[in-house]
Amino acid sequence: MSEQQSALFPTYARFPITMVKGEGSKLWDDQGNEYLDFASGIAVTNLGHTPKRVRDRLVEQLDQLWHVSNLFHIPNQEQLAQLLTANSFADAVFFCNSGAEANEAAIKLARRYNSKILGNDRYEVITFQTSFHGRTLATLTATGQDKVKEGFHPLPVGFVHAPYNDVEALKSFVTDKTCAIMLEFVQGEGGVIPATPEFVQEVVRLCDKHNLLLIADEIQTGIGRTGKLFAYEHYGVEPDIMTLAKGLGSGFPIGAMLGKAKLRDALSAGSHGTTFGGTPIATAAGIATLEQMLEEKLVDRAAEKGAYLQNQLKAKLAGNPLVKTVRGLGLLIGIECAQPVGEMVSAMHKQGLIVISAGPNVIRLLPNFLVTDEELNRGAEIISRVLAEQASVAGAS
């Protein structure tokens, strides 16, 4: 159906593929074509498509209760919150529906903590160039990419964007209005760029020195994607606030904002809320997802399979003039190329491999954690073949 015929707003530049079925690492379109999925719904289906344990838990919950609102106690919320806090730095959780909502909650918490608990007028949040934090007015303003802001002015005040991985530049962005620093330990949309250890240590030092809150945006990196349950663990630091979504519900919409105990009183009754956040169904999906991940040690598997895939890619792509570098953590991997990758991504789709981009020049790979070596080998072979063909075309021209 063309955009002119569709009843949907044309907000997405969709690939010309209609997916109708998924199982494990495989997807099928409405023409019966089979694909190997190295996108996982943008880091969402970490257990593969339609994982049995999550499906069974959802079916059980569907027969019991769907929705009552947050005016009542919801046992699943407490159970999932206990799982999250027991396995992280955090002491308290707020459930919502998406990553953008989780980041909105984090921004509000940082401001309200400074206003109501510390009694100051700090409100600015430092974020970073090429970051991505969401599509609401506040979170797109927090995002360090101008393309998401076009046409939405005037934007909310209170956000400044420092260069990413620049230790010296960061110092000059802290003022007497700064209340928090919001950091992706690996910039996903920005090109799969891990933060350097030195940069993270400087962020923490500045937060300690100026009594700033450190907000970890782990929407894409959290729930095992980088080979640790949370990406901050790679750096030996702890944030004050962390945001989650994507992989938390295996495809069922759920988001979460986690914080340390000192922040609990800042969000008193009536200060924040949501109609659909943390429903019995959403939290059932989260419980089943996290329990399977922990019990089966799938985070360790993500680290192992990610290292395996990176090694395969580096070996197969060595010498390809289009490839500048292969980088990432765990099963969040980027292949940076010397030219835009749109045609390469489409060519891989045509050969049966689903990948996506991260910015104009990076191919982003996000296989699920149960992916097999055979599937990784097949994916690496398709990637190598397509990039070799593209290099040949580029060389001929």
pLDDT, position 315: 98
Task: Give dist(CA 183, CA 49) in Å, integer.
Answer: 29
Task: Give dist(CA 307, CA 315) in Å, integer.
Answer: 12
pLDDT, position 397: 58
* Mean of all residue pLDDT scores within the chain: 97
pLDDT in tens, 322-359: 999 999 999 999 999 999 999 999 999 999 999 999 99
Q: Tell me the pTM.
A: 0.97
pLDDT surpassing 80 at residue 1: no
Q: What is the mean pLDDT of residues 36-50?
A: 98
pLDDT, position 378: 98
pLDDT, position 5: 85
Task: Give dist(CA 10, CA 4) in Å, integer.
Answer: 9
pLDDT surpassing 90 at residue 2: no
- List b or e across 182-213, with b for residues whose CB sees 16 or more CB atoms inside 10 angstroms: bbbbbbbbbbbbbbeeebbebbbebbeeeebb
Residue with tokens 């919001």: 182
pLDDT surpassing 90 at residue 395: no
Domains of the chain: 19-50+297-396 (3.90.1150.10), 52-295 (3.40.640.10)
Beta-bridge partners for 138: none
- List b or e across 347-379, with b for residues whose CB sees 16 or more CB atoms inside 10 angstroms: bbbeeebbbbbbbebbbbbbbbbbbeeebbeeb
pLDDT in tens, 51-64: 999 999 999 999 99
